[in-house]
Structure 1
Amino acid sequence: MVSSGGAAGTSATAAGAAAAAAHSYKQLKEEFVSNLSGGSVTEIAQVCAVAPVVSLLWSVLQARQSFFEPYTPLAFIVDFLLNVGALLLSVTLYSNAPLLLNLLLLTVATFIYLIPADPSIRRKKAKLPPNASSKPSPAGSSPPLGVLSTKPFLTNYRGNMLVVTCICILAVDFRLFPRRFAKVETWGTSLMDMGVGSFVYSAGIVASRPLLKEKAEGKTSPLSTRLVRSFRHSIPLLVLGVVRLLSVKGLDYAEHVTEYGVHWNFFFTLGFLPPFVALFQSALKLVPSYAALAVLLSVGYQVLLEYTELKAFILVGARDNLVSMNREGIFSFLGYLAIFLAGQDAGMFVLPRALPSRFGLSKRYTMLANMAAWTLGWWGLYFLVTNYRVGFGLSVSRRLANLPYVLWVVAFNSGLLFAFALADVVLFPGFYGATDARVEKDMYETATSKVLKAYNRNGLAVFLLANLLTGLVNMTVPTLHVGAVTTVGILGLYMVTLTGVAVGLDVYNVTIKL
């Protein structure tokens, strides 16, 4: 018979062993995402290319075969498999062969394009020509076209970016997800480093909408009004940042301190962007564009890194006060602010409906030419800054959010936007020839994935849910000890849940504004 004292001792020993095992596992998880050096820019480009290639395949199915009209359960399944499933494969089972996955998708797209088009589409085109000759709706039946338009390729771009981001924030905790795709420690490039910057860049594009509306109305809000409006947008994000901080500390969740600091997190970065952008908007009286402002800010920040003690402070300084404890988040904010401003600049020439025609091109091809020129310009700056032979030889650092990182993110996203727009303009020209709001809305619905539209509509809310589910999975599943098949199954169920919630909100016409 065991004495009560012996039983208590055994229980205490077991509890101590369990606590030690939990601490050991937490440490193992932190080490799993630490001291990583990333991968090549070329491989990251091949993985990211899956998104516009999938969009091309979806567009060919719709433009040539009207596959997603009506939107049947089969259409939804195919929509999900293309715009979510293919992206999941690109970072898991096909992570070592992204080029092969792209070639397979392009082959299918080519085959479908060569199949004779659905006769019903031809009859529809005969009634409603896609080349701007469609008749407007009778007077009073549809509102006139506004200054701005919601272009299909922007929805597809933002939707794909959100899908990849949601996949990666959970997939990174599994061994199937390559370590070179996870965030680097200090110097280098990775898929997740690009994802963080892309999130900020796309937010900048959306933020240009109110500015364009004010410009069209010929008015400019005073600084005080802009600040009040920006703080109103910031408060929910800052609250989410505090909630995440308390939950991570309270649940003893594994965390990577050198990512943002001891207390800082990505929600704080997003939350502080609006008021600072409102302040920087006043500088446009002296600087010609948001792009120039972004370059000046990131160059100034890089000069501080190179010619002061700031770089050493961020990388190896002691964490002995609130600022030093969160130095990565505080100072990298300058780089993310530059990325946001560059995104706003892209929005200024992508969102307006009426673009002046140039070089004898139509308005939609003028837009493509502008996008191609900006993409080449940003890539040229990136090459100049990072090349060791003819440039400055600087290395990319997401941790610092330095000048090379800013240029890499902006150039990369400019190229992705151009790729999405190219497929959109070529396969759905009817959208750009719409003569009233009703026709344009119909063409938008035709040219846009329902799944990506749903992600785009409630992007921040879905991203928050993805963070909550990621935490839940990590607290209930030993992700480091899970095999490949189980990993894909968990990630698949996770994405089915996120997609179901996003599409459900869209079906019931619910928009959650945070």
Structure 2
Amino acid sequence: MDNRSAYGGLEGDPWLQQVVVFDWQPTEILAQNAESMQLIVATCWCVLMARVVTQKLCPRSSPNFCYGMEFLLIIPPVVLLVTVASDYCTHILLLMLICSLWFLVRTQALQRACARGQFDLGGTRPTVFTLVRALTHLITAVCILAIDFSSFYRPYRKSRTFGAKLMDTGIGLFVVTMGLVSHRTRHIKDLRRSVVYAALPLLLLGLARTVALLIVGYGQDEHEYGRDMNAFFTLGLTKLCGSLTSLVARRDVHLLPLGMGLLVAHQMALSVFGLSDFVMDEDVPRSTVFSANREGLVSLPGFVAMYLLSIYLSRWLMAATLLGYSDMVKKLRRLLLLVLILWSLFGASAFAIGISRVTCNFGYVVWTLAIICTIMWVGLFGLDFVINSVLPWDPSALAVDSQEKGQLLEVQAGEGSAPKAASDRIGSFAICQSLNLNGLTFFLLANLLTGGVNIFLKPEDRSQSESVLILLVYMFLATKAVHELLKRGVRLA
């Protein structure tokens, strides 16, 4: 099918006199999404399996032993699936499905869930949000280094114009996870806190990265965010503009029409006024600040809309976190219905307007929210409904003393709020807790290690076995560093 978009409304500039046509293949986009979701679901399943195994086999073991067990169950499968074992992802998913069904039957988990009197989803920081953020960090960290090796599965690479590949999910998932742990800006004090503790640090990191690349002479792909912008700038500007925009909403429920209105207006600008073609046309000169960074600047309204909708999603989903059995089933059904609606909109968008990370169009926002809601449904059902019914979360089983438990602090990411005592156990779910507590620190460390590998180890010259080994060591260093911070109750960023 031939799907086209052309300029309309920007004819005043001389280089816009000709009509530029960009095509996308809906069936190819659907196939790319299927591959991306296979990897994401497989990673999620590995995390759930690690949660069961560590609590079952080593409930009173040392935190280091539990970390080592989780590392072996989570990291090697992800590394292998993005490199040498990518062709076997479907087979592995089928095996995971069989194991999951066996677990349900063997443990009578559904019957036990029915007998529970109450489901505690985790209060202000639900476990399912920890799962979502951890998956985002893990997959992104593996891919940003793995892509430099020849063993990396090339169809996972970012799309230049339209596409739904694995690495296209990165910036979108970060924006959504940022929104999930944020609040609507109610007054100037909230705005100042958001700017100082979240937006400003990200903007400074973006500036530092741009300056560092200029100094070392290491180029970046202009088609991702532009000549000077990068992911940190996009996240910082999204937080800043999202906080300003949310001042308009008087209540959390107003975030839904506000976000949807902004998203529709953004899509109109892309489709009707030709901004999509302006961004994607390689013949457009990068002669001004706007044209040089058009990818990052034009996509910003879409990311702000995504951020607002994520805050609404968080408020809607966690309006009540102490639920009876019937209320829990009702929440699962409603979330499943939302998942089905989002995936239907994704399919329609794939045929009508395409899926574009570069412009953050309507289809990309819907796609990202569909992925997040799917993970959250799997988390609510798998963790809170099934696993916690079979293996209840028992803080008294911690292999640390009360003083260490008192040091485990958790704060709202980027909001500068007062620390809260973490109720989760440090043994099981250790990697996810570590990434939740120091996600930005982990991401920065992963970027530094990626730079070091590229400078000293020349990844393009490495064999498949060498690339896998390097990736495993790299992920061990990054995850172990934040795990040590978790053990000491230290939160850097």
**TM superposition score category, shorter chain reference:** 0.7 to 0.9
Offset at 1:466?
Answer: 0.8
Q: TM-score, normalization: structure 1?
A: 0.77
Offset at 1:280?
Answer: 1.8
Which range moved further: 293-302 or 400-409?
293-302
Counterpart residue number, 1:100 = 91
| Shift in CA distance, 42/507, structure 1 to aligned 2, threshold 3 Å | same
Given residue 200 of structure 2, which amino acid in structure 1 is its aligned partner? I
Offset at 1:59?
Answer: 3.8
Given residue 489 of structure 1, which amino acid in structure 2 is its aligned partner? L
Question: After superposition, what is the alpha-carbon deviation per residue over 1:395-444, rounded to whole angstroms, capped at 9, x for unaligned?
Answer: 1111111111111111111111111111112221487999xxx9xx8974
Offset at 1:335?
Answer: 1.6
| Shift in CA distance, 467/40, structure 1 to aligned 2, threshold 3 Å | same
Given residue 228 of structure 2, which amino acid in structure 1 is its aligned partner? H
Q: Distance in 1 between matches of 2:320 and 2:426?
A: 19
Offset at 1:506?
Answer: 0.5
Question: After superposition, what is the alpha-carbon deviation per residue over 1:252-293, rounded to whole angstroms, capped at 9, x for unaligned?
Answer: 113111111110000011111222122221332499443333
Counterpart residue number, 1:364 = 328
Offset at 1:251?
Answer: 0.8
Counterpart residue number, 2:42 = 50
Cα contact 1:355–1:363 (8 A) shared by 2? no
Given residue 377 of structure 1, which amino acid in structure 2 is its aligned partner? I
| Shift in CA distance, 104/443, structure 1 to aligned 2, threshold 3 Å | farther
Counterpart residue number, 1:399 = 358
Q: TM-score, normalization: structure 2?
A: 0.80
Question: After superposition, what is the alpha-carbon deviation per residue over 1:106-145, rounded to whole angstroms, capped at 9, x for unaligned?
Answer: 455566677789xxxxxxx9xxx993489xxxxxxxxxx9
Counterpart residue number, 1:495 = 475
Counterpart residue number, 1:379 = 343
| 1:8-87 to 2 correspondences below 5 Å | 40-61=32-53, 65-71=56-62, 73-87=64-78
| Shift in CA distance, 79/158, structure 1 to aligned 2, threshold 3 Å | same
Offset at 1:476?
Answer: 1.6
| 1:161-310 to 2 correspondences below 5 Å | 161-208=136-183, 211=184, 221-222=186-187, 224-232=188-196, 233-285=198-250, 288-310=253-275
Q: Which runs of 5+ in 1 are unaligned?
A: 1-36, 118-124, 135-144, 212-219, 388-392
Q: Distance in 1 between matches of 2:446 and 2:138?
A: 10
Q: Distance in 1 between matches of 2:105 and 2:367?
A: 36
Structure 1 position 328 matched with structure 2 position 295: yes
Q: Distance in 2 between matches of 1:267 and 1:201?
A: 14
Question: After superposition, what is the alpha-carbon deviation per residue over 1:93-113, rounded to whole angstroms, capped at 9, x for unaligned?
Answer: 221221122233445556667
Q: Distance in 2 between matches of 1:432 and 1:101?
A: 28
Cα contact 2:485–2:491 (8 A) shared by 1? yes
| Shift in CA distance, 346/443, structure 1 to aligned 2, threshold 3 Å | same
Secondary structure, in 3 states, of the residue corresponding to 1:485?
A: helix
Secondary structure, in 3 states, of the residue corresponding to 1:253?
A: coil
Counterpart residue number, 1:471 = 451
Offset at 1:505?
Answer: 0.6
Question: After superposition, what is the alpha-carbon deviation per residue over 1:314-349, rounded to whole angstroms, capped at 9, x for unaligned?
Answer: 122221111111110111112221222222122113
Q: Select the residue among 345, 362, 368 that pairs with 1:409.
A: 368
Structure 1 position 428 matched with structure 2 position 388: yes
Secondary structure, in 3 states, of the residue corresponding to 1:97?
A: helix
Offset at 1:177?
Answer: 0.9
User: Whose Rg is larger?
Assistant: 1
Secondary structure, in 3 states, of the residue corresponding to 2:355?
A: coil
Q: Select the residue among 459, 470, 473 that pairs with 2:439.
A: 459
Aligned-residue identity in percent: 26
Q: Which runs of 5+ in 2 are unaligned?
A: 1-27, 396-404, 406-420
Offset at 1:464?
Answer: 0.9
Q: Distance in 1 between matches of 2:358 and 2:299?
A: 7
Offset at 1:171?
Answer: 0.7
Given residue 482 of structure 2, which amino acid in structure 1 is its aligned partner? A
| Shift in CA distance, 152/281, structure 1 to aligned 2, threshold 3 Å | same
Q: How many pairs does the alignment contain? A: 433
| Shift in CA distance, 352/69, structure 1 to aligned 2, threshold 3 Å | farther
Q: Distance in 1 between matches of 2:93 and 2:431?
A: 21
Secondary structure, in 3 states, of the residue corresponding to 2:152?
A: coil
Cα contact 1:153–1:420 (8 A) shared by 2? yes
Given residue 131 of structure 1, which amino acid in structure 2 is its aligned partner? R
Q: Distance in 2 between matches of 1:296 and 1:340?
A: 13
- State the 4+ residue runs in structure 1 displaced beyond 6 angstroms: 112-117, 430-434
Q: Distance in 2 between matches of 1:175 and 1:490?
A: 13
Secondary structure, in 3 states, of the residue corresponding to 1:49?
A: helix
Cα contact 2:54–2:70 (8 A) shared by 1? no
Please give the root-mean-square deviation of Cα atoms over the aligned residues, in Å. Answer: 3.2
| Shift in CA distance, 225/297, structure 1 to aligned 2, threshold 3 Å | same
Structure 1 position 510 matched with structure 2 position 479: no
Structure 1 position 347 matched with structure 2 position 327: no
| Shift in CA distance, 184/133, structure 1 to aligned 2, threshold 3 Å | closer
| Shift in CA distance, 452/133, structure 1 to aligned 2, threshold 3 Å | closer
Counterpart residue number, 1:3 = none
Given residue 93 of structure 1, which amino acid in structure 2 is its aligned partner? V
